[in-house]
A = this chain, B = another copy of it.
Amino acid sequence: MSVFKFALAVLLVSSLWHSSLSLDNGVALTPPMGWLAWERYACNTNCKDDPDNCIGEKLFMRMADHIASDGFKDAGYQYINIDDCWASKERDSQGRLQADPDRFPSGIAALANYVHSKGLKLGIYADYGTHTCGGYPGSGPSMKLDIDTFASWGIDMLKMDGCNANIDGMPQGYKQVSDYLNATGRHIVFSCSWPAYWVGSGKTVNYTYAGETCNLWRNYHDISDSWDSVTSIIDYYAKEEDDLIPAAGPGHWNDPDMLIVGDFGLSVDEQQAQMAIWSILSAPLLMSNDLSTISDESKAILQNSDVISVSQDKLGHQGKVVATVGKVRVFSKLLSDNSMAVVFFNSGSFAGPQNVTVTFQTVGLSSSKATVKDLFQQKDLGTFQGSFTTPVDPSSVVMVKMTPA
């Protein structure tokens, strides 16, 4: 073997090694933040009777306007993501996916341009099987073409659902999709649904593998607009944390699904709770709500800079449960400045607050003395020695940052 050939072989092996173990697209180094249509708008295609709420370019342009103008972009929200039901039921003459011409008369490329002109990014939805969950054309039969189409449109994020597909082959199949994405040269965040389908059918997910081939992945039921739904997801994440935590980090995140803050089913306390737990879990922060009508209270929760700092901390640790006291679970997350974010989460639904004490050792603080800041109140609470005690209201959180002093 000549030196040249050897060098070439090293390059090839290195390249193969690289593409086989990593979706090396350099994106989602912190949990993606943005907006996703599904929970709030679902598959509403009735633009005739419901023009403001149907899945069409006007909806996404309006949300982009709100993200850009109402403080969300400044807070870190960036992705405007289309979900199912955007496509025409027919592919074009060259077999390419195309948007429904009535609801997206300008087409997706034009929508991407519009979103980019606001300094934001556009996400789209496809399905790994023959059809999407809503019955639109699936990408299974022409995956490479569809990925190239998305790249040509200027898409920045792709959610690949898993309806109407062979579940068994998904881990390898989604890996193939990630290779197609890499090959486009465009940096497209890749959201994989296969772990959710695997969990749903009782299979054991290799989350390390998921993290090597996807930027984020769903692994549990779709969220709906209720506290019940939120708590069932939190319970799942707490129960499975030993498997989930090692998989999370810069570029690869467990995805407990959308934020429903600003919708109909959560009290103000419960909205804070979802925001707090999603942030301490380093979950993607993809709102699904109507930014035209959202209340100031909900906006303040979604734009709280202290809470978002916990979410976007560059270490990318996923917080873990460090104590359970009665109905209160305590989550903690190491931050890059050596402080700890701590969430006290009361899942109870009766009477008044429960008092909870945790020692600094329990939450993982290296120091026996720490300053404590309440992140929703954005208020310094003082310096504490050895432990911290707080009342926690039912279906509420207290979220603090503890910094060694």
Tell me the A residues contacting B by CB distance below 8 Å: 39-42, 44, 53, 224-229, 263-270, 290, 349-352, 393-396
Q: Which residues of B contact A267 (CB under 8 A)?
A: 264-268, 270
Given contacts A226-B395, A395-B225, whether A265 and B349 have CB atoms under 8 Å apart is yes
Contact B396 A264 (CB under 8 A): yes
Q: Which residues of B contact A396 (CB under 8 A)?
A: 264
Q: Which 4 A-B pairs have the closest CB atoms?
A: A226-B349, A42-B351, A225-B349, A264-B394
Considering the complex, give the chain B residue whose CB is closest to the CB of A396: B264
Contact A225 B350 (CB under 8 A): yes
Q: Within the assembled complex, what's the spacing in Å between the Cα atoms of A263 and B269?
A: 10
Given contacts A225-B395, A226-B395, whether A42 and B264 have CB atoms under 8 Å apart is no
Q: Which residues of B contact A42 (CB under 8 A)?
A: 350-352
Q: Which residues of B contact A350 (CB under 8 A)?
A: 39, 42, 224-225
Considering the complex, give the chain B residue whose CB is closest to the CB of A350: B224
Q: Which of B40, B53, B349 contacts A224 (CB 8 A)?
A: B349
Known: A41-B351, A42-B351, A224-B350. 19 other contacts (CB 8 A): A39-B351, A40-B351, A42-B350, A44-B352, A225-B349, A225-B350, A225-B351, A226-B349, A226-B395, A228-B349, A229-B349, A263-B394, A264-B267, A264-B393, A264-B395, A265-B395, A267-B268, A267-B270, A290-B352
Can you offer 10 A-B residue contacts whose CB atoms are under 8 A? A225-B350, A226-B395, A228-B349, A263-B394, A264-B267, A264-B269, A264-B270, A264-B393, A265-B267, A290-B352
Q: Which residues of B contact A393 (CB under 8 A)?
A: 264
Q: Which of B265, B290, B351, B352 contacts A227 (CB 8 A)?
A: B265
Q: Within the assembled complex, what's the spacing in Å between the Cα atoms of A349 and B269?
A: 18
Contact B224 A265 (CB under 8 A): no
Nearest chain B CB to A348 CB, angstrom units: 8
Considering the complex, give the chain B residue whose CB is closest to the CB of A346: B264
Considering the complex, give the chain B residue whose CB is closest to the CB of A222: B350
Nearest chain B CB to A47 CB, angstrom units: 14
Q: Within the assembled complex, what's the spacing in Å between the Cα atoms of A227 and B386?
A: 38
Considering the complex, give the chain B residue whose CB is closest to the CB of A226: B349
Q: Which residues of B contact A269 (CB under 8 A)?
A: 264-265
Considering the complex, give the chain B residue whose CB is closest to the CB of A37: B351
Contact B41 A352 (CB under 8 A): yes
Q: Within the assembled complex, what's the spacing in Å between the Cα atoms of A53 and B393?
A: 13
Nearest chain B CB to A48 CB, angstrom units: 13
Q: Within the assembled complex, what's the spacing in Å between the Cα atoms of A21 and B41?
A: 56
Q: Within the assembled complex, what's the spacing in Å between the Cα atoms of A30 and B395?
A: 34
Nearest chain B CB to A54 CB, angstrom units: 10
Nearest chain B CB to A177 CB, angstrom units: 28
Q: Within the assembled complex, what's the spacing in Å between the Cα atoms of A53 and B266?
A: 25
Contact B44 A351 (CB under 8 A): yes
Q: Within the assembled complex, what's the spacing in Å between the Cα atoms of A263 and B42?
A: 30
Contact A226 B225 (CB under 8 A): no
Q: Which residues of B contact A224 (CB under 8 A)?
A: 349-350
Q: Which residues of B contact A268 (CB under 8 A)?
A: 267
Q: Within the assembled complex, what's the spacing in Å between the Cα atoms of A263 and B350?
A: 10
Q: Which residues of B contact A228 (CB under 8 A)?
A: 227-228, 349
Q: Which residues of B contact A270 (CB under 8 A)?
A: 264-265, 267
Q: Within the assembled complex, what's the spacing in Å between the Cα atoms of A46 and B264?
A: 36
